[in-house]
Amino acid sequence: MPKPSLREALLDAGFDQLHATGYAATGVAVIASAARAPKGSFYNHFRSKEALAVAVLTRYGQGRRLELLNQPGVPALQRIHNHLAHLRTDLAAHDYRRGCMFGNFAAESPADAPQLTAAVAAAINQWRNMLAEAIRDGQAGSEIADSIEADAAAALIVDAWEGAALRAKAIGDSTPVDNVIALVFSRILI
């Protein structure tokens, strides 16, 4: 039987630790211990904590289900609703105590981790662009008001979501994200 991948164990442990406590508060020793790996072996798989964090952020991004925003055959408003509902469910899975990793890392903006900061900015921009495209699709199909500018609305929704996820993390409650979802569909896109 093949031996389990130590790299994957470190990635799993890094994902959990970095999401739970953040970049600055998580050390390599804690990640290695959680992966049941010798600390020195960490560097056989990752150049640095920052390299691991970028890999973790990529994995996190795959779980954000951005593909829901361009799902063929689904009306644009429903695609946006499905995506935000997925994000809400993801936050609820940890009783809102972990927040969104994009927002968590963006809030930290570690000066000693420029690759991580750039990866966060790129991930948020990709999300914003895909959301703006879904809004434009909805405008073309007369589902969404054409009086709003799609890129500005997408930026507002993403920024509001990240702020709400941070507040939900602070209070351990869905109210902030529920408020954003309600406003998106009752005021911003209508």
Show me where the domains of the chain are located: 6-57, 63-188
Region 139-158: mean pLDDT is 97
Question: What percentage of the chain carries pLDDT values higher than 90?
Answer: 92
Higher-confidence residue: 134 or 40? 134
pLDDT of residue 129: 98
pLDDT for 122-142, tens place per residue?
999 999 999 999 999 999 999
Closest-CA residue to 157 (of 132, 137, 175, 136) = 132
Q: pLDDT at residue 3 above 80?
A: no
Domain 63-188 CATH assignment equals 1.10.357.10: yes
* 166-87-26 Cα angle (round to 5): 50
Residue 22 φ/ψ, nearest 5 degrees: 95, 170
What is the distance of C-alpha 23 from the center of its chain? 14
Cβ–Cβ < 8 Å for 153, 141? no
pLDDT of residue 4: 62
What is the C-alpha to C-alpha distance for residues 11 and 29, in angstroms, rounded to an integer? 13
Higher-confidence residue: 2 or 17? 17
Enter the CATH code of domain 6-57.
1.10.10.60
User: Are 6-57 and 63-188 in the same CATH fold?
Assistant: no
The count of other CB atoms within 10 Å of the CB of residue 17 is 21
The helix/strand/coil state of 116 is: helix
